[in-house]
Each structure stands twice: as structure tokens, then as C-alpha cells.
């Protein structure tokens, strides 16, 4: 890979100059039908409408130049072929390949990184047998009854992606199958989930790559205690997804084990066994293949070098334009689909954990903005909530709308001449237009400045395949941005300090009962915090 | 009220100067035990620990000066006593009082705005009778069975606050009672909720102040169609919360009606009938009184003029320090309580719809930043997701942590010497410390700059009363900030343009079938958008 510091690209200088006068969407001719028709990028079943971004052909040309100069597609190919890109030159680091695409490369006759793709195929075959054993009565509870619920116990990457996909595809669940999720170390989370369940018909899927995640191991203990209390054998009700030879890789404790690999980061692991076991349980094996196929299509399409024909690359560059050149601190992802209600939370992790960094791949401090704050809720709900600020606030919030032409359930009704689904999509397009063009009014409180950049990503219907495609589009958007900022998007050193301090506080609490009250002069700030919070 | 433009306050000049060298939390003596002990504000069962904010006594004195100079407490009193503050001088506006506190003033012998408090008491009495009729078998289904589920159909303020409170207090639900919510016009939202329900035992609570909200009326029709399809009489299964004499105020269509009032904005309506009917159904009437009592205590406590003794006022001013003087664009609200999982979404609405404004109370453009982007997810989940950016990203994100010393369920287990609840709180405090003090490391990727401002709000336990208090604290934080920025926090003109455009698009769609394809030259951009999105 031949990445340089962001500030040194010629295209960055050109874009800085262009940003002095960005395209005026609120002008009389700022958004005409020709522009709407021209600024569309179609790929893998999706159309990206970006006429409502503050770009013109000169900006798009400069963004293309940036993509070429930085070699973004070459970096992406390096990632896919297994170059060790999860590293910081000259310093200790994870020093790993980044191969979430390899578990989708199972559709290729000639996979780019054959070793991990072969392992992925093995795990898929194992999953297929496991699912079939559940169906044919080989895997049942002590009474010989089939399992109806799978509870995934995991946190972060072992929770957000799988949960978002489950909610997105819940409509396609097999009769009599459902899933629940436990993540938080908050004991109320476990208690609330377990309260409603028939434990005798439940399988717990414990997911932790290291096999040492504090929250997950604690929750596993809580679950075990409840199973024992109900007179059930934990080993019969638990399966595991973990790294090979982790402390959790133990056939005596789990009914089945699936492997995850070091070269697939947690936040990119939804299409590995981390997501697919639970999704397979509720949706069936065919849907698992469809999710992978959708993602695979995008993995291939994202090799396209023309930014106007590559949705993830274009999303990445439009994001960089808004963030680094127009100065917007956040980006809102607003799906007009209730099924995607937790997809923004997944992206929040995937994006912010990847690109919330301050040092380059060479360990120097960056002098440019890296990842924005990512947030969002489904529309139309948000229209009745935070859209006020997006339209009229002093913070400019770039928006990425996501929508579908058809509903999932097909249960709909015409009210006042249009269906609910038509109302949903019309509202999304109306918001896109309103943010872009604004409106003058004599009453200053009713004035809309417009020029609030946004884009619309739309497909026919949210299915396993289009969900897989959407997931991969955003994964690659994030990777392209990280390459462009010359940061390592694949480590997460920033989560360590909190862990260390939490363990120190817990040690003080655990010893608390044995000690006399420390004198105030010898207090450390950790103890002072605990005392003030009423925990000592 | 005697509010001026924010930029003209003397204290603002002083704070601008102080912001040149904010307190260095990462210095060796930046956060000692004395500071931790001194920077605590205790009120209404909560402790606010703010030693981890970048303030010192000089900044706090200047913030006190700002509060006094702007007359923030006087403005708050004006609001509570019914002065018409929802207005823009010299322009058409809602021109209303702002009286969400009046529905909590039922505990006072001498209410500040007797008329609305009297009406609130009447509605409470009506609710008490309704709940008792549900218990004593007066209100039952056609088979004489009791109702077990209430589905609240509403959006925005008629959804987010009630839903957040329901999830927060779900642990206290009465045996055999539960609630669900339908908000989105997305037909999949309705379908997913109705699929799991026994309609014959379900009451639908339709909530819309105007009685004309598109989403809510559409969803009411979808619900009615499903009831009829199931052979049930809609009038027996529906109740309404609406404005007096709205189109929904119709005894022939609803089994019971409760009123909401123009002087209570949607986003401030959780403690009116908008929230209390469903909460009363699941929690019982005593819990309703407890929620109100908790909020009422804070309503009174927020009259305190000493900022160091007034939690909502101090939260407001610390937020202004971070936003207007230290330049942070967002604020993250991170509850270490799974039960509060949707409280950030409620605050997102309440805060961003209130303070996402660009004109002053006199209709002039502001020249200072108003409301920040508000977002958040529960901890510890977030630690495994977006905290990377909060610790090491280039965007500085001020954090407001919220936690409780005890769990709700009391189902817990000691693992490695501490309970899950202790782990939860220790993690929160550890994050607060880590963000503030940072850590040097030889490896630049493992370096933490610190100086990431945050505070911790902690109480004993999340109960109906402490939930009511927490809600009111944030409502008043938001109001104090709006007063300080001299904006009208109580209108929402910014939501209108999208509605107008959506109706225009829907009219085109509704007529679409009847028209010949329009020639491209005569296209409007609305039609162009519809065509490009594949909707025409």
C-alpha cells in the first residue's frame, strides 16, 4: 500500500480551494431535474441519489483524483488479498490481516485469500449440519423437544451487528424460532431477557473471540446459575463461537463450537460465525447463503475505480467532503425502515471504532479530522423528533437516508390515495429535498437555509441478500475513509485504558470490606471517585 | 423575562477569555481527591460528580455570573407561572404558555398556574377511575375478559418519552400487563407489533394532540382493519389521548378519552396523559403518582439560584461551556443501565427539537451556537463500540454518564469478588476517569490525551420516582440552555417544510397512474426525485 498523509495529497489542496464556494443547492437552479438524474450511482440492486450533496462536477473530479492519488482501490485490494494492514509501522500492534471479505469469498472459484476462505467454508458446512441436526431431531432438549429460542450472549461486535441483522430480517424468521440478545454487564439486562423465556427450549450462544470478555463471561455465569436453578444441564443448553484454542474452546462445556479468526475484527464479524449461527437458527441456512451472496456482490463491485460507479467509494468520498472540507462533525444515518432500527447502532460501532483515531499508520499525530460521530434513528420517527435541528439548527448534519420501495410484510392499506409504504418513501424524498433546497419565508422562524447535504440510498426490498449488500457497502465505505486518512481502521487501542482502570476500581471494591477507611491524605483519585459515587 | 442576546453578556466575554486555557485534567495535579470531593452537586436523590469537567472555580464563578446576568432562574419561574414564552416577538408563532410543570404541581397546596393544574388533577382522577374499572371488571372485552396489553399508537413526543419510561420501569409492571408501541408510518412496524398479539385482549391507545398526525391516523386505520378482520369491534378496543375538541375527541369511536393541552409541548408531555395512561395501565396508579412526585421535587429544586446546588442548571451551564466555549459539537448521554436504553432517544428529541434553532426570541439570526447533537447508548455496551472515538478520536465528545448504585431486579451474582452491578458502576467511573486524565505511552497508538470532559449523575436505584426526577432534570437543563441562548425552545417550525413537500410528492404519486409520463423538459425536481427513486 502506498498511502500518504492526507494533508499532502494534491487533490486535498484542490478540494480545500473548492470548499470555499461549495455548490449552492438553495439557488434557483441549484437542484434541477437534470442534476437529479445525473447524480445517481447504481450498483448491486441499490441506487445512490446524491444530487442533494453540495458537490458539482469539479468536486467529483477532485474526489476521483483523491481516490486515485491515494490508491484507495489498491489499498482495498491489498486488504482483500491478505496483506497485513492492521498495524502501526515501527510500534507494537495487532499486526494482523483484515479478512472479513474472505468469509464471503466462498462464492468465488478462485478466492483471493484461499486459507481463510477454506476455513470459512468449513465453518459454514459445520453450521449447515448443526442447523439440520436441529431440524431432524438430533439436537433436542432433555425431553426430546426442539429448541425454539436462541439467546446470543456477546457484546460489541458480538452483539450489535448480529442484533441489527436479526431485527432487519425478523420478518423472515422460521415458524416457531426466535432470537434474543444479552450484552450488557447490567444484571437487569440478563434478568429482563430470562424472565420471559422457556429455558427448557432455549439454546444460549456464547460469543467471545478471546474467550475472556468480562461482560460475556459474567453473563454466562448468570445464565448457568439460572439453568441450574431450573434443573437444566447447562452443557446441553449452550453453544460457543470463539477463537480456536481460546479458554472457551472446550467441548465439555458446549454442545457445539464454531470458530472465529483473528483476522476478522469484531465489528466486521457479522458475516462470520459471530452473526451467522444465530441468524441461521432463526432464518435457516438458505438465508445465510443469501446474506453472504449479497455482501460478496458488493465486495467485488467495490473494486471499481470510477467513483461515480462505486457506491461505497462514493459514500466514503462524499463523507470526506462533508467532514474534512465543509467541516461537519457528525453524520446521521436515517433508515426509512423500522426493520433497520438498530442498523445505525451497528454502524456507530463499525465506523467510530474503526476511524476514531488520532495517529497515522506510521504512529504520527494526524493534523486532519478523522472519523465523525455517527448516529441515527429510523424515519419517519425522527421527523417528529430531532429533524428540527437538522433543518434549522446551527450544527450542519450531513444525512444518509436509506429506504426501500416495497415493504417486507406486504400488510398495507391505502389511506387518502396512497399506501403506508408510499408515504414512507415520499417522506424520505421530501426530507432530502427540503434539507437541500430550503425555503424563504417572511417569518424568520419559518425560514429554511437549505444547503444541508444528504444522499438517498434506495433498493427494492429489504431481504437477506440486500441486507448483506448494505452491510458490506458500509463496511467498505468505512475502510475507504480510513485508507484516505492514512489511519489503521482495524485496531482499537482506545478501549484499553478504561478496562485497566475498571479492574483497578473493582479490586478496591473487592477489598473494600477488609480495609479500614483510608485517610483522606493518602487517597488516590480512584478511591475518591468511588467514595463520592457512594460505592465505598 | 429579561433575556438578551447570548453574545452581549459580560459573563460570555469572561468565559471566552477563560476558554483560552481550560483546566488541564491530564496534568499531574489535574484531578486530585480534593477536587473530586469538592465538585459534587447533590439534590433530589441524585449526585452530580463534575470534577471531570474542564472547569475550575473561576469558570464556575463566571457560569454563575452568566446564570445571574441572563436571569435563567427568573425565566424558569416565568415559564412555570404561565407567562406566554412560546413566541417570537413581532411574528406569527404558537403564542402559548409552556406548562409541563403544571401537571406535576398537583402536589402543591398553592399551584403556580392553578387552571392547568386543576385540569391535570381532573385528568388524573379520570385515569384513576379508568384504571380501577380495568381492575374491577367494568372495562373488559366482549367475552368479559380483562385486557392484558396496551398498544400506544403515537409518534414523536407521543412515543419517545412514554416508550423510554415504559422500558425504564418495565421491571415494576403488574402481573399480566404489558405495553407495546407503534410509531412509524412504515407498515412493517404495525405488522411486526400486531403479529405477536392476542388482539381480543388488547387496548389501543391512540395519541395525537391535534388529532391529525399523518402517521398516527394511518396506523389507527391499519389497526382498525386488523381488529375488524379478527371479528372485533374497534370502538371496544380503542381509547384516545387528544386535545379537547380535536377530530379525535369523539366518544362514539373511543372507549375512553383523556385530554392533553396546547400549553404542553409533545416532547414535554411524558408526565401528562400522553405518557401516564399507558404507564398507569402497566404500573398501576401509585407508580403514576410516584413519577409525578419525583418530577415535582425537581421542579421545585430547580428554582435554586446557586448553580453549585442546582443539578439541571449546572448541567445546562457545563453543557454551554463545552459547546459554546470549548467548541464541542455533540453531547453523548450514556446511561449505565439497560433499562434506560431509550432514554437517550427521548433526550435527543427533547433537546434537539427544543434547541436546534437559528433565530432569537426576537426573530434575529443567532451569531452563536445553539443546541448540540445529542446521542447515546447504554454502557457498558458502548465501551465495546464507539468509545474508541471518544477516547482517541479527533472530535471531542463531552459525555454525561448516568448510573445507579443498585440494580432493579436484584438478580445478581458475584464473579471474581464483585457483583455485576458493582462491575457496571465501576466501569462507568473508570470511563469517567480515563476520559479525563488520559495516559502517556511510548507507543503513540496507545496514548490517551485525556481532557475529554464528562460528568457522572448517580442515584441509588431506578424507580418510578427517580425516573420522574431524571426526566425533569433533563427537561429543565434543556429549558435553561434555551433561555441562555435567547431562543424559543418550545416551537418546532423546522418540521413544517418536510411535511409540505411530502404531501406534494404524495399528491403526485396518487395521481401518477392517471397521467401520461411527463416530458422531461417540463419536469419539476420533485417529479425527478420520484422517478430517480423508482417511485413513478
Q: Which residue has the higher pLDDT, B483 or B414?
A: B483
Confidence of residue B518 (pLDDT cuts 50, 70, 90): low
Q: pLDDT > 70: what percent of chain A? A: 98
C-alpha cell, B135: 381492575
Q: Using the beta-carbon criterion (under 8 Å), do A352 and B385 form an inter-chain contact?
A: yes
Q: Which residues contact B216 (CB under 8 A, 6 or more apart)?
A: B153, B154, B155, B158, B206, B207, B208
Longest alpha-carbon distance in chain A: 77
pLDDT of residue A413: 84
C-alpha cell, B74: 427568573
Q: Residue B355 pLDDT > 90, yes or no?
A: yes
Q: pLDDT > 90: what percent of chain B? A: 92
C-alpha cell, A529: 471517585
Residues of B within 8 A of A424 (CB-CB) are 184-187
Closest residue of chain B to A367, computed from CA coordinates: B394
Q: Using the beta-carbon criterion (under 8 Å), do A157 and B384 form an inter-chain contact?
A: yes
Q: Residue B1 pLDDT > 80, yes or no?
A: no
ipTM: 0.97
Identify which of B157, B388, B438 has the shortest CB distance to residue A492: B388
**What is the average pLDDT value for chain A, to the nearest integer?**
95
Q: Using the beta-carbon criterion (under 8 Å), do B525 and A433 form an inter-chain contact?
A: yes
Identify which of B192, B413, B505 has the shortest CB distance to residue A225: B413
Residues of A within 8 A of B415 (CB-CB) are 217-218, 221
Q: Residue A529 pLDDT > 90, yes or no?
A: yes
Q: Residue B517 pLDDT > 80, yes or no?
A: no
pLDDT of residue A518: 52
C-alpha cell, A500: 485497566
**Three-state DSSP state, B342:** coil
Give the C-alpha separation, B389 to A355, whole Å. 7
**What is the average pLDDT value for chain B, to the nearest integer?**
95
Residues of B within 8 A of A190 (CB-CB) are 411, 420
C-alpha cell, A343: 442498523
Closest residue of chain B to A431, computed from CA coordinates: B498
Residues of A within 8 A of B524 (CB-CB) are 33
Q: Using the beta-carbon criterion (under 8 Å), do B533 and A47 form an inter-chain contact?
A: yes
| Mean pLDDT calculated for residue range A71-100 | 98
Residues of A within 8 A of B504 (CB-CB) are 430
Give the C-alpha separation, A482 to A476, whole Å. 10
| Mean pLDDT calculated for residue range B453-470 | 98
pLDDT of residue A519: 52
Pick the residue of A155, A156, A187 with the most B CBs within 10 A to test the interface with B by mutation.
Answer: A187
From residue B246, alpha-carbon distances to B236, B259, B260 in Å are 20, 10, 10
Residues of B within 8 A of A330 (CB-CB) are 329-330, 373, 395
Confidence of residue A514 (pLDDT cuts 50, 70, 90): very low
Q: Residue A513 pLDDT > 70, yes or no?
A: no
Q: Residue B516 pLDDT > 70, yes or no?
A: no
Confidence of residue A41 (pLDDT cuts 50, 70, 90): very high
How far does A335 lie from chain B, in Å, by closest CA? Answer: 11
pLDDT of residue B378: 95
In angstroms, how far is CA B272 from the centroid of its own chain? 14
Of A134-148, A483-497, B484-498, B511-525, least confident by mean pLDDT is: B511-525
Q: Which residues contact A368 (CB under 8 A, 6 or more apart)?
A: A6, A7, A324, A485, B394
Q: Using the beta-carbon criterion (under 8 Å), do A387 and B184 form an inter-chain contact?
A: no
Give the C-alpha separation, A364 to A195, whole Å. 50
Q: Residue A170 pLDDT > 70, yes or no?
A: yes
Identify which of A391, A418, A458 has the shortest CB distance to residue B509: A418
3-state secondary structure A334-369: EECCHHHCCHHHHHHHHHHHHHCCCECCCCCECCCC
Helices (H), B304-458: 311-320, 343-355, 387-392, 420-437
Active site residues of A: 353, 384, 499
Give the C-alpha separation, B200 to B179, whole Å. 15
Question: Within a 10 A sphere around the Cβ of A328, how many other Cβ atoms?
Answer: 21
Q: Residue B388 pLDDT > 80, yes or no?
A: yes
Pick the residue of A168, A188, A438 with the most B CBs within 10 A to test the interface with B by mutation.
Answer: A188
Chains A and B form CB pairs within 8 A to the count of 525
| Mean pLDDT calculated for residue range B4-13 | 96
pLDDT of residue B489: 98
Residues of B within 8 A of A160 (CB-CB) are 381, 385
pLDDT of residue B515: 54
Pick the residue of B160, B368, B445, B500 with the most A CBs within 10 A to test the interface with A by mutation.
Answer: B445
How far does B109 lie from chain A, in Å, by closest CA? Answer: 35
| Mean pLDDT calculated for residue range B153-162 | 97
| pTM of the entire predicted model | 0.97
Q: Using the beta-carbon criterion (under 8 Å), do A429 and B529 form an inter-chain contact?
A: yes
Q: How many CA atoms lie within 13 A of A8 on its CB side?
A: 7
pLDDT in tens, B398-408: 999 999 999 99
In angstroms, how far is CA B411 from the centroid of its own chain? 29
pLDDT of residue A469: 98
Active site residues of B: 353, 384, 499
pLDDT in tens, A286-305: 999 999 999 999 999 999 99
pLDDT in tens, A243-260: 998 999 998 999 999 999
Q: Using the beta-carbon criterion (under 8 Å), do A384 and B215 form an inter-chain contact?
A: yes
Confidence of residue A515 (pLDDT cuts 50, 70, 90): low
pLDDT of residue A214: 86
pLDDT of residue B514: 47
φ, ψ dihedrals at A398, nearest 5°: -65, 140
Give the C-alpha separation, A230 to B417, whole Å. 25
pLDDT of residue B521: 54
Interior/surface letters B92-121, b for 16+ CB within 10 angstroms, e for the rest: ebbebbbbbbbbbbbeeeebbbeebbebbe
pLDDT in tens, B18-63: 999 999 999 999 999 999 999 999 999 999 999 999 999 999 999 9
pLDDT of residue A511: 87
How far does B195 lie from chain A, in Å, by closest CA? Answer: 10
Q: Residue B88 pLDDT > 70, yes or no?
A: yes
Cα pseudo-dihedral A180, A186, A192, A197, rounded to 10: 50
| Mean pLDDT calculated for residue range B124-133 | 98
pLDDT in tens, B316-351: 999 999 999 999 999 999 999 999 999 999 999 999
pLDDT in tens, A426-459: 999 999 999 999 999 999 999 999 999 999 999 9
φ, ψ dihedrals at A108, nearest 5°: -90, 140
Q: Using the beta-carbon criterion (under 8 Å), do A424 and B186 form an inter-chain contact?
A: yes
Q: Using the beta-carbon criterion (under 8 Å), do B532 and A47 form an inter-chain contact?
A: yes
Amino acid at each position: 500500500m502506498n498511502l500518504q498523509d492526507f494533508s499532502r495529497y494534491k487533490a486535498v489542496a484542490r478540494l480545500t480551494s473548492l470548499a470555499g464556494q461549495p455548490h449552492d443547492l438553495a439557488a434557483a437552479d441549484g437542484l434541477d431535474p437534470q442534476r437529479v438524474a445525473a447524480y445517481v450511482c447504481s450498483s448491486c440492486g441499490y441506487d445512490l441519489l446524491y444530487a442533494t450533496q453540495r458537490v458539482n462536477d469539479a468536486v467529483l473530479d477532485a474526489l476521483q483524483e483523491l481516490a486515485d492519488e491515494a490508491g484507495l482501490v489498491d489499498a482495498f485490494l491489498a486488504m482483500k488479498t491478505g496483506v497485513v494492514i492492521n498495524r502501526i509501522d515501527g510500534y507494537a500492534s495487532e499486526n494482523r490481516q483484515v479478512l472479513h471479505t474472505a468469509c464471503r469469498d466462498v462464492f468465488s472459484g478462485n478466492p483471493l485469500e484461499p486459507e481463510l476462505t477454506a476455513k470459512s467454508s468449513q465453518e459454514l458446512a459445520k453450521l449447515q449440519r448443526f442447523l439440520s441436526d436441529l431440524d431432524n431431531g438430533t439436537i433436542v432438549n432433555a425431553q426430546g423437544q426442539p429448541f425454539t429460542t436462541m439467546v446470543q450472549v456477546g457484546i460489541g461486535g458480538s452483539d450489535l451487528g448480529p442484533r441489527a441483522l436479526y431485527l432487519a430480517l425478523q420478518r423472515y424468521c422460521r415458524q416457531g424460532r426466535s432470537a434474543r440478545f444479552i450484552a450488557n454487564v447490567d444484571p437487569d439486562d440478563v434478568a429482563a431477557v430470562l424472565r420471559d423465556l422457556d429455558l427448557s427450549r432455549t439454546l444460549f450462544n456464547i460469543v467471545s473471540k478471546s474467550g475472556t470478555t468480562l461482560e460475556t463471561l459474567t453473563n454466562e455465569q448468570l445464565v448457568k446459575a439460572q439453568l441450574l436453578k431450573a434443573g437444566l444441564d447447562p452443557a446441553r443448553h449452550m453453544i460457543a463461537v470463539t477463537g480456536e484454542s481460546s479458554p472457551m474452546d472446550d467441548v465439555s462445556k458446549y454442545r457445539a463450537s464454531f470458530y472465529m479468526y483473528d483476522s476478522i475484527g469484531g465489528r466486521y464479524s457479522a458475516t462470520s460465525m459471530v452473526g451467522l449461527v444465530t441468524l441461521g437458527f432463526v432464518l435457516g441456512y438458505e438465508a445465510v447463503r443469501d446474506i453472504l451472496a449479497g455482501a460478496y456482490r458488493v465486495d467485488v463491485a467495490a473494486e471499481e475505480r470510477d467513483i461515480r460507479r462505486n457506491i461505497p467509494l462514493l459514500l466514503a468520498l462524499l463523507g470526506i467532503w462533508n467532514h474534512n472540507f465543509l467541516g461537519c462533525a457528525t453524520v446521521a444515518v436515517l433508515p426509512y425502515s423500522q426493520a433497520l432500527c438498530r442498523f445505525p447502532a451497528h454502524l456507530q460501532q463499525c465506523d467510530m471504532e474503526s476511524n476514531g483515531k488520532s495517529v497515522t499508520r506510521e504512529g504520527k499525530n494526524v493534523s486532519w479530522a478523522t472519523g465523525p460521530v455517527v448516529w441515527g434513528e429510523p424515519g419517519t420517527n425522527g421527523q417528529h423528533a430531532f429533524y428540527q435541528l437538522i433543518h434549522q439548527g446551527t450544527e450542519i448534519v450531513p444525512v444518509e437516508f436509506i429506504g426501500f420501495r416495497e415493504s417486507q410484510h406486504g400488510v398495507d392499506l391505502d389511506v387518502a390515495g396512497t399506501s403506508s409504504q408510499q408515504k414512507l418513501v415520499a417522506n424520505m424524498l421530501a426530507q432530502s429535498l427540503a434539507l437541500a433546497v430550503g425555503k424563504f419565508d417572511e417569518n424568520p422562524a419559518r425560514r429554511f437555509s437549505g444547503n444541508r447535504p444528504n444522499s438517498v440510498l434506495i433498493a427494492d426490498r429489504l431481504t437477506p441478500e440486500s441486507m448483506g449488500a448494505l452491510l458490506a457497502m458500509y463496511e467498505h465505505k468505512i475502510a475507504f475513509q480510513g485508507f484516505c486518512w492514512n489511519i489503521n481502521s482495524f485496531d482499537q487501542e482506545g478501549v484499553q485504558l478504561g478496562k485497566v482502570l475498571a479492574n483497578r476500581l473493582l479490586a478496591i471494591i473487592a477489598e473494600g470490606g477488609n480495609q479500614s477507611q483510608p485517610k483522606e491524605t493518602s487517597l488516590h483519585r480512584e478511591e475518591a471517585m468511588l467514595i463520592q459515587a457512594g460505592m465505598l
